[in-house]
Amino acid sequence: MERWRSRRAVRIAGYALLALVLLLVLAQLFLPSIAAQRITDKLSPYGSVQSVSVSAWPAIELLWGSAESVTVNARSLALTPAQSASLLAKASGSDRVDATVAALKEGPLRLTDAVLAKRGHALSGAATTSAADVAAALPPGVGVSLLASEGGRVAVRVRGSLFGLTAGLDVLAEASGGSLVAHPVAAPVHSLHLTVFSDPRIDVTAIGARALGTQPPSYRLSMSALLR
């Protein structure tokens, strides 16, 4: 009797182990595609998503919102800065995120060839915009031209009305306290600041811009940040 009970216990343990292995195999097969579909559903209201892929090992980690990597390819998206920050915050459980967007509208600014990379809590992004699209995103009567970009800051010449002044001003855009701010370079108005972007979930660390030398003129913009 005792031997029969021992054999029965071994068989039950074997069945339990087999069931666990089967569960893990099924999770590895189906959970990544389910997670990819959920991401697609979250992005679809903002435009056209081409493909999403998710990987995790073991895939059961996806049930707790963790993933090793997420790759997103989209044809076009249109979001506000707050919506972008919200989507990035939801990706905090993914160690690695790579996203490309052929045509992106971020607030009023139209961008192309946008790329985003997330490694841990570090974010980096870049996109191209034309001088015409920059002009269209600015208030009427305001023009901007690039002067220089170095050290994570961008200097521009602003023509028109800004900071309550109507003139030509050299303005420096930079990260300050986790926000993206702009302020005049020259005294006595250099103490004036305009907050361009601020979100409690995103800590902006650096920005950049470079002219691409194309006709019509276009620029490659970049930003680095940390998820808080």
Mark whether 223 and 183 lie in a shared domain. Answer: yes
What pLDDT, on a 0 to 100 scale, did the predictor assign at position 93?
Answer: 79
- The list of the chain residues with pLDDT below 70 reads 1-32, 57-66, 161-167, 187-191
Mark whether 93 and 190 lie in a shared domain. Answer: yes
Mark whether 113 and 145 lie in a shared domain. Answer: yes
127/207 Cα distance (integer angstroms): 12
CB atoms under 10 Å from CB of 106, counted, come to 22
What pLDDT, on a 0 to 100 scale, did the predictor assign at position 22?
Answer: 46
Does some domain include residue 216? Answer: yes
What pLDDT, on a 0 to 100 scale, did the predictor assign at position 190?
Answer: 58
Mark whether 121 and 174 lie in a shared domain. Answer: yes
Mark whether 115 and 149 lie in a shared domain. Answer: yes
Q: With H, G, I as helix, E, B as strand and everything else as coil, classify residue 177.
A: coil
Mark whether 60 and 99 lie in a shared domain. Answer: no
Mark whether 144 and 199 lie in a shared domain. Answer: yes
Mark whether 72 and 136 lie in a shared domain. Answer: no
Mark whether 104 and 188 lie in a shared domain. Answer: yes
Mark whether 62 and 152 lie in a shared domain. Answer: no
Which residue segment(s) compose the domain that 183 sits in?
Answer: 89-228
What pLDDT, on a 0 to 100 scale, did the predictor assign at position 21?
Answer: 46
Does some domain include residue 192? Answer: yes
Does some domain include residue 54? Answer: yes
Which of 79, 109, 138 finishes a domain? 79
Give this prediction's pTM: 0.81
Render 188-222 in DSSP notation, one character per residue: TSTT--EEEE-BTTEEEEEEEEEE---SS-EEEEE
Domain count across the chain: 2
What pLDDT, on a 0 to 100 scale, did the predictor assign at position 110?
Answer: 96
31/156 Cα distance (integer angstroms): 48
Which of 79, 107, 133 finishes a domain? 79
Does some domain include residue 108? Answer: yes
